[in-house]
Amino acid sequence: MFTILLFAGVVIVAYIFRCFVVIGKKCTSKVKLHGKTVIVTGSNTGIGKTTAIDLAKRGARVILACRSKQRGEAALQEIKRESGSNQVVFMQLDLGSLKSVRSFAETFLKSEPRLDILINNAGVLMHGRTEDGFELMFGVNHLGHFLLTNLLLERLKECGPSRIVNVSSLAQNFGKIDFNCLNSHKALRLGTSFTQMFQIYSDSKLCNVLFTYELAKRLQGTNVTCYSLHPGDEGSVPCPTLCQSTLWKKLVTPCPYHYVSGNIKSNCTYPPETQQCIFVLCGVHRFFVHNSETIHATVLNPVGP
């Protein structure tokens, strides 16, 4: 009898763990985005792609901003099929090239009359240098998005109320900015070991949060609000084999994270279908009601029908 009760207890605990931790919560907001245009960087895979599908289902015109033309066009067809929407467009964007960022912005501003939501989602966790000589994670995770946001800022202001969503990470808590290293080596810090690589990634994610805070201050009084968030780990960010291993995921992904640069609480772990909920909440929250919360750290409940 004891064995049966123990087995039943383990099954119940495993079921609860799966439902509330591994699977997490879903976004239940019914807000529609007809007539709105959204850019999602890095939307050919993982959370970015799932977010793009959700936004397309809500009626938004979604711009897939991706580096790889082949993977971007493949994702375009999949997102159109999954969402049932033809209002999805692929535009090539290499965040590791400031020339590419400027070209993307120029093309977008000429071809698209609106921009309502900008989701800076793309990111990397690997060593290297950008086309412009910057350390890769600093260049892609921060600099590329920094330039892109500023190039599109006037259009966002014109189309307000609008949103800027910067995807950061819980790792930002371990980051710091070494300006001496930045000035001398175009890098936040040096090193090639896994620990040093993770530290550089953390630094780049701290840049995302600091950028969001400063941008929010500068945009007070406008109809543009800024958000930074930690979505959880889902394994789609390019990184070494260790990060993709089953052991690594078991160690770092089962724990629910409650971090969105503010007070929204969402049980987001690594499944993209779970993680995209927080992207959507930041994008649609109070979109059609009012826009008085100009500080990015203030996020309340999503608006239903």
Condensed to tens digits (0 to 9), the pLDDT of residues 209-238 reads 889 888 988 998 888 888 887 775 554 444
Residue recorded with tokens 């279908």: 273
Q: Which of 201, 227, 257, 259 is catalytic?
A: 201
What is the SS3 assignment for 90? strand
Instruction: State the Cα–Cα distance between residues 37 and 62, nearest whole angstrom.
Output: 6
Active site residue 201: yes
Phi, psi torsion values for 64, nearest 5 degrees = -90, 110
Query: Which pLDDT score is estimated for 3?
Result: 74
- Report residue 186 as tokens: 């175009």
Q: Are 220 and 167 in contact (CB under 8 A)?
A: no
Query: Which pLDDT score is estimated for 160?
Result: 84
pTM of the model: 0.75
**DSSP for 102-121, written as a single string:** HHHHHHHHHH-S---EEEE-
- Helices first, then strands: H and E counts in the chain: 11, 6
Burial of 93 (C-beta count, 10 Å sphere; 0-12/13-18/19+): buried
Per-residue pLDDT 10s for the chain (305 aa) are: 667 777 777 777 666 655 554 455 555 667 788 999 999 999 998 888 988 998 999 899 999 999 999 999 999 999 999 999 999 999 999 999 999 999 999 999 999 999 999 999 999 989 999 999 999 999 999 999 999 999 999 999 999 888 898 888 878 888 888 889 889 999 888 888 888 888 999 999 999 988 988 898 899 888 888 888 777 555 444 444 333 444 333 333 332 222 333 333 333 333 344 344 444 555 444 433 233 232 333 332 222 22
Q: Provide the CA 280 distance to its chain's centre, in angstroms.
A: 10
- Report residue 98 as tokens: 């400031």
Q: Provide the CA 26 distance to its chain's centre, in angstroms.
A: 17
For the chain, the straight-line distance linking the first and the last C-alpha, in angstroms and rounded, comes to 50
Domains located in the chain, CATH noted: 31-284 (3.40.50.720)
Instruction: Mark out the alpha helices in 121-193 (DSSP H runs).
Output: 136-137, 145-158, 179-185
Q: Which helix (H) or strand (E) holds 165?
A: strand 162-167
Q: Which residues pair with 167 in a beta bridge?
A: 229
Q: Which residues pair with 135 in a beta bridge?
A: 129
